[in-house]
Amino acid sequence: MQHVLEKLGLTYDNPGVFDGEWRGGGAKIDKISPIDGRRLASIHTASDDDYSKAIARAHEAFLKWRVTPGPVRGETVRRLGNALRELKHELGQLVTLETGKIIAEGEGEVQEMIDICDFAVGQSRMLYGLTIQSERASHRLMEQWHPLGVVAVITAFNFPVAVWSWNAALAAVCGNATVWKPSEKTPLAAVAVTKICERVCRETGADPAIFTLLVGDRKTVGQKLADDPRISLVSATGSVAMGLNVAKTVHGRLGRTIMELGGNNALVVAPSANLEMATQSIFFGAIGTAGQRCTSTRRVIMHESVASKVRNKLLAGYKSLSIGNPLDRKTVMGPLVDKNAVDLVQHSIQRLKDEGGEVLYGGDRLTVPGDCYMKPCLATAKPDIEIVKHETFGPLLYLLTYRDFDEAIAIQNGVPQGLTSSIFTNDVREAEKFVSAVGSDCGIANVNTGTSGAEIGGAFGGEKNTGGGRESGSDCWKYYMRRQTNTINFSSELPLAQGIQFGAGEGSGTS
């Protein structure tokens, strides 16, 4: 652990505010690892004064950064990607130490950061506008995209660095400064990444405040970011309750938001499905990150004809599951992020029993140092009971059945959340219907691959209570820019659009 901290520039006592300078005048956080209950290090959070200075510095950095050519901005992001490559193992270990996710997932999260940096570098030369045919002679009508301003990124504990990078890499090449409020459960990874950003910016001559960091609580940082008119866009990942509060506040001042909130993701297993592939995908989707992914598989909707086979395969996998230290590469599932997370899953399991569901396996709390471990829970339930419609952020998987395909789609869509979905089928009509307008109502709909493990090249996000936001690939860069329509008249006449004649007398200048 000491080697990892040193390699990433961390000590046992760290400032949690960066805007070109490091400081932290607020409360101190002692970060305890869920792996074994050991203290990793301390972070000094932001004070009210730290917040005010940091936002002012971020805005100052934006004013310089916005006039830097896009490809030059891309060079800073390219070097950031290379720096992450050099420290992938150490940063992946730190993610594991803070979150409890297995080391393969910790390193995979850093790889996501590297991938989005590569994507953003290419995008820096493709911030394209449009030329549009004007209805008026000797006129050019066009659209272009300009830097937006200061972008706030509020991230959750489960992906403590990747989600920031999805936003920050694109925001940076688009000419914006980013202010990062990480989860207080995972502040060390945020400090480590910001130190990497600082080094890269000093090497390229960019103002390091384009990657500003504010570790702090909701009152000192989170609510202020939502209230602050200097923040042009707030990208927030977290609970629906948090998202509703942020959205109401930001939209109340006519600001912009990207919301990535709850997911209650289902995987449909059709009669023609390859059951081996389906159960492997369910297993990773439900167990990965101890069920603490927004894309985790939470509901399996099985056709009655294959239900017993799927159930038996999953039971065998759950019973042979390796639970333990996530730094051991043989471990399949590590701890949840903290004791409270385990408590919340235990509460949902009790509600499941009270509402008529049945636990088939697991759900037990494990007596392990740190008290953050439990056996994943596999249960049967009816789709209309309330707990099934609620997102439990942990390893709790519901097995549901259906008779006809329209019923399966209705069950899939019958929850408030709409992030990701999946179907396993070899029937082309079922596959096409699932991804059609009358199929899955989620932002992500997959065929013969699971609900979890999205690539950075596609737009990531969901509908309904998931918030409607989109991050990462495709054309998501447009969220971080302001669109401007331009009309350029290169004639000596002044015609009006729609052929309007206004004051058409001599000397009016109209035609």
Active site positions, annotated: 260, 294
Strand 231-237 vs strand 256-260: parallel, antiparallel, or unpaired? parallel
Q: How far apart are CA 153 and CA 2, in angstroms?
A: 29
Question: Cβ distance 195 to 80 under 8 Å?
Answer: no
Dihedral sign computed on CA atoms, order 94, 100, 105, 110: negative
Q: What is the DSSP string of 83-126?
A: HHHHTHHHHHHHHHHHH---HHHHHHHHHHHHHHHHHHHHHTT-
Which residues, including other chains, have CB under 8 Å from residue 14's CB and lie 6 or more apart?
24, 41, 42, 43, 44, 188, 191
Q: How far apart are CA 310 and CA 388, in angstroms?
A: 19
Report phi then psi at 483, rounded to 5. -85, 135
Q: What is the DSSP string of 261-306?
A: ----EEEEE-TTS-HHHHHHHHHHHHHGGGG-STT-EEEEEEETTT
Q: Which amino acid is at 124?
A: S
The number of beta carbons lying within 10 Å of the beta carbon of residue 33 is 21
Q: How far apart are CA 55 and CA 214, in angstroms?
A: 9
Report phi then psi at 206, rounded to 5. -75, 150
Q: How far apart are CA 378 and CA 226, in angstroms?
A: 39
Q: Within 355-435, where are the H helices?
A: 386-389, 405-413, 428-434
Q: Within 139-264, where are the H helices?
A: 162-173, 187-204, 223-227, 240-252
Q: How far apart are CA 423 and CA 411, in angstroms?
A: 13
Q: How far is CA 178 from CA 141, 169, 290, in A?
A: 32, 9, 30
Closest C-alpha among 481, 477, 464 to residue 260: 464
Dihedral sign computed on CA atoms, order 262, 389, 423, 399: positive
